[in-house]
Amino acid sequence: MGQLIKLQDYVSRYELDIYKYPSRFIRLKRLQWQQLYKAWDEGVLVHSSPEIISTATEEPLGKEKIWGKMKSVFTKNKEEWQEDAAGQVKEWTIIDDEDANMNRFPFQFETMPKTVDELKYQFLEEIFKVQIQWASSTVFEQSNVDISYFLEKNLKYFMLRFPDTFLFLYKPVFSLKKAEIQTETILLTPLEVVCIKFIESEDQAVYIGLEDHFWEKRVNHQRKKFLNPLIALNRTESIIKGIWKQANIDFPISKVLISRNGFIDFPSAPYGITLVDHRNYPEWFKRMREFKAPMKNGQLKAARALLIHCHSVSKSRIY
């Protein structure tokens, strides 16, 4: 399950401590799945599971609760992560009593799952809601989430079908030279960053790549021009490189153009662009799904540099 570290221009708790929340998410997800499966397997699961992780929506915090968090936020935790010889990241961080809230997440099943696959599906659907919550709120602030994101297929695709060590910025907005610029989706794996764009409309559509400002789409004997999708990918890459240059970060960057239900015809595609269409998508997806590597220090440093330059719109949760 990929991790949503930034959603559009919403405030994200990953922005507060990118070294803490990825490991916390993995740990809590594993723990709560074990508890949920145990309850289901023993036949004691009712229409709501043991409380796990956090609620999908949070109420504004009273002053007494905020004060409790402020007092505990400086409490040092044990060393959860350190970097070993292989570059695997372990974390030295601080904790607060957010853990108490995150460990409560009531599942509400519309129907009781009859198989392990049904249980997994409903579990991941609920965790997806938590992902959006983490990417739109902190202890002190929250953003107004567009309800359509809970149903957005491509967002769910990234969150539900990729490894836990993959970090996603979904349509992030960057603040650069007093201007806000939205980019394509950015994926940070332990080994590289990938700029991703979809071109998908009608099934079996053919997209003709041209070294021009426009490409051509052919479907049902009709032709239609559309903006060259590589322009957006190149802009995303340029923004990332500019941010990393300031932060003195050297991390590989690649670009992927995806059409799962169509075909991309561009024999002279420039270097650094991977074209994924109906023909080679299964192979590409399998390779990404089976990627196994722990999170790396370089990956988290690169993510932190990007998050620092992200634009956020939020309101206080203190009343």
The 3-state secondary structure of 203-223, one letter per residue = CCCEEECCCCCEEEEEECCEE
Determine which helix (DSSP H) or strand (DSSP E) holds 130, and give its type and residue range.
helix 116-134
Q: Kindly report the average pLDDT of the chain as a whole number.
A: 82
pLDDT band at residue 227 under the 50/70/90 scheme = very high
Res 101: pLDDT: 43
d(CA 189, CA 264): 25
Q: Is a pLDDT exceeding 80 seen at residue 63?
A: no
Spatial neighbors of 117 by CB under 8 A, at least 6 apart, are none
pLDDT, tens digit, for every residue of 111-162? 788 899 989 988 998 899 989 999 999 888 899 999 999 999 999 999 999 9
Least confidently predicted of 19-28, 98-107, 282-291 = 98-107
pLDDT, tens digit, for every residue of 79-107? 334 444 444 444 333 333 454 444 545 56
Residue 137: strand pairing partners? 142
pLDDT, tens digit, for every residue of 168-184? 999 999 998 889 999 99
d(CA 62, CA 37): 35
How far is C-alpha 135 from the chain's CA centre?
A: 8
